[in-house]
Copies of this chain bind each other. A is one copy, B any other.
Amino acid sequence: MDNITSVIAENISYKVNDNKLFHNLSFSLNTGESLHIKGPNGSGKSTLLRIILGITNPTKGSISINSTKDKCYLGHKNALKNYLSLDDNILLMEFDNHPCLKKYIEILDLKRYLDVNVANLSYGQQKKLGLLRLFLNSSDLIILDEPFVGLDKETQIILTDFLTDQLKENKTLIYTSHIECDIDSKTLLLK
């Protein structure tokens, strides 16, 4: 396993309206490594992830990411279209021709619901559909914001196994989760 550095954060700080979320944070991650960002509610975990993604700019410091591929991100919001059927949503994610699509639809037990509108799916089923973006990803860097929320035990295990496999394939993983999970990872504690 060649350990190439894939994410380096140097002295990043962030504050909104005099609310200092974090200060002089530095870390670096190699490929194949995973980082679990921990901290109480409102400590700035999601914000840090958005900074890593480049959506938000840090007040100070810099982030560099060693990959030209698209990042794979899943946040609190699922980025699904409520008024479209499951099928159409897969089309929108441009996964309709993905070789593994069938397999994961099967695994996640969504097959029966392909023509049901997303609005009618249960909370967990919507989350599962959102997770398709992860399961079918083709990127080096995976960033997940509370991926286990709303999933039943069985799916949580499937997800953990998948992530462990991805790490073996030398991908980099950064995630937050208030739910314990068995992924071998470094920890970053905020506040």
Contact = CB atoms under 8 A, between A and B. Distances in A.
Given A121-B42, A124-B42, A125-B41, A150 B149 contact: yes
Contacts of A125: 41-42
Interface in A114-148: 120-125, 127-128, 146
A170 interface: no
A127 B146 CA distance: 14
A81 interface: no
A178 interface: yes
Nearest to A44: B122
Interface stretch (A54-62, A94-102, A152-160): A152-160
A105 B122 CA distance: 31
A152 B124 contact: no
A123 B152 contact: no
Contact of A150 (B44, B113, B124, B146): B146
Interface in A32-75: 39-42, 44-46
A138 to B, nearest CB: 26
A124 B38 CA distance: 13
Interface centre among A42, A150, A155 (most CB of B within 10 A): A42
A9 interface: no
Contact of A155 (B41, B146, B152, B156): B41
Nearest to A45: B122
Contacts of A179: 179
A41 B178 contact: no
Nearest to A16: B120
A154 B153 CA distance: 22
| 6 pairs of A and B residues whose beta carbons are closest in the complex | A41-B124, A42-B122, A40-B152, A76-B123, A41-B152, A42-B125
